Structure 1
Amino acid sequence: MDVQLSFSSENLLGDVQITGSKSESNRLLILQALFPQISISNLSNSDDTRVLEKALRSREGEIDVHHAGTAMRFLTAYFASKEGREVVLTGSDRMQERPIKVLVHALRQLGADITYLKKEGFPPLKVVGKKLSLNEVTVEANISSQYISALMLIAPSLPGGLVINLDGKVTSEPYIQMSLKLLEICGIKGKYEENQITIEAANDLPPVEVNVESDWSSASYFYSMAALSREAKISLSSFREFSYQGDRAVAGIYRQLGVETEFEEGRIILRKVPFKKPRSFELDLADSPDLAQTIAVTCFGLGLRCDLTGLHTLRIKETDRLQALKNELTKLGGKVEITADSFHLQASEGIKSGTKIETYNDHRMALAFAALSVKTPMEIADAEVVSKSFPGFWEDLEKLGFSVKNRC
């Protein structure tokens, strides 16, 4: 299903309820599976979280995670540590192109029994759960923080806990800090010093309820809409000023693009304010790469030159996000150059109308490009892909006054 989007009002006004963070929810579900005394409220309603939740309840011999990369990585570590459980983990064609060798190698250091069923270094995997008695591992830290978080989450269930030595420059470090903080909230002791993480074994955790903060990545699309509008006042709930999520950085980034954030009783209010356009917009997004598509589209809509670095992980996401961005912005009239880890956009003078945006099975392509409909009518292909992280997105746009028409 494709959607046609348009927005005819001068003002962007309204309230949106955003469900729990996908990143927090998925980490907590693994911890809850290992320690049932943990209860969770405001869980994400995303497809990725539902896939993970279903997998953890499954007793089947094969589990298909579809496009859910976090689920694949977290479940690989989880099932490797579940003594007596044997499972095949598989996914979509794209999932079978996404590397997992770094995590498998680390788990094998701990004694895990994992076999590649097709291509070396990639899913599908056969995982035979064993008692992992070793308590120290070294893992490459410059590929994906999810490998490290996967190890951190199973660490407290291991007899001696776990020491994780990080080899190389750490990428997406805020996600590691998030994992550490959630472990702490659940009563699990851990520390992260220099390039070493130590997680203690947890033998007797007290009951605890964890309330998941709403998703800052999802909030970023409304920041983009506000930046591209003439006037805006959007209320989003429920958010904390002191967040565990790395994408909390969106508030500071978009202040430079004319969007002010006000924290008020568990919600944030976004307001469009006068600002002086910078000659160019330069950011290192190594700590928050999921914001890259949104920021790139915003800068294109504002006619700003944009140079984004620290994007090496975008090549191995749901699609090659750098190439996808270049393809679609070029169709709209943008002039884009990309490297292995960077994105460069020249200042543009307008947006070509009548272009359909392809989404490449990537939710963030649909979500990011939808913001341009503030400026000009847009058509988004395969619009249902947003359910991976934000199932109610199109309904929320209608509440804000957008016209959303389905085209089958």
Structure 2
Amino acid sequence: MAVPAPTIRAALPSLLTLMAATFVAVTTEMLPIGLLPLIGDEFLVSESQTGLLITLFAVMVAVLAVPATLLTARLPRKPLLLACLACYGISNACAMAAPNLALIAVGRVLGGLTHALFFSVCIGYAARLVAPGLTGRALAIASAGVSAAFVLGVPLGVSLGTLLGWRGAFAMVSGCAALTLLLAATTIPPVPVTRGRTSNRAGTWRRFATVLTSNGLVYLGHYLLFTYITVLLLTGGASTAALGPLLFGFGGGGLVTLIVAGRHFDAAPRRSLLSIVTVMAVGMAAAAALHPALIATVVACAVWNAAFGAVSPIYQAAAVTADATTPELAGAWVNATCNAGIALGAAIGGFVLDRYDIAAVGWTAAVITGVALAIAAVAKLSFPPRAPAQAGTPRPRTSGR
């Protein structure tokens, strides 16, 4: 039986590999956002229609994350992780070669099926690689791939799409998936499989449900506006060539925030979360109010996206430390609510954009994010001042896989 490493230092090679895997996963999911105008132009469809590629992917994850995790609960974790990375590669290769929008959608369906399982595997892996009480830091490292995807993956994809065509961007991500698969096969150890543990305490489940509700609303607010960020920037006067560098800068801010704030996730999770979501809501409102003034809009977008860079691991850690179920199922529920928010965000954002304008999209996003903040502020038991010492402890009835 594999024994989880007791320290962050001992687990660091595996956590960095998980970071690379989350980079591939999120780049796969988000890449079409920066390529919406290019894909739409080739297939003669509107940006709101191509935005449904984001919605389709996210709906698959929202619906299937928990069932997929339950169905694979007894399977070895490492082969499951490797299979997910292989499927990400195939999904992007399908999109690269697609002769029409329908076949891109087929590739996105495969990616969505993969994504439905990936984050539950990844979150559970990170929680089991470290000793109790280090869950937040471990998840911050593994989840840094999310911010890295915005720093490097999506902006490079947009730049490649501008220079070489959008198909070259999908080819890049497919190659990254193949390289990460090889890295994971050689660096990540197996971990125990935990079978079917849930809490019978109603209060525990209420706290868990509150975490998931706030998480889903944060993602709904963010992606309601972020799905159409290219529209926001272009209508503010940015050139197409500037989109890649701007997204690079936004993602870089998110990565810096994650590195700085991640040190405090276990010591002060509540204060960290409230600060992060407050800055997000303020940044979104500013983007709406200041548009179409380009420099002011860019600054507002930088603030909002920098704050969002730290959102993922702190909600993941809150879900795991609620102790309502296994780390894998906690991860599955977080994944499901994230992607329910992403799917609804893309759909609602497109609806508002078609009927009003991009500023209205920004105001709607800010209000929804504010609701998520209010829930977190009221729910003191769901987001305690300090993480429980026993958080992330693997439970009995495990078998080494």
Structure of higher CA gyration radius: 1
**Higher RCO (Cα < 8 Å, 6 or more apart):** 2
Structure having the larger proportion of residues in helix: 2
Which structure's residues are more often strand, by fraction? 1
Fold agreement, TM-score > 0.5:
no
Query: TM-score normalised to the size of structure 2?
Result: 0.27
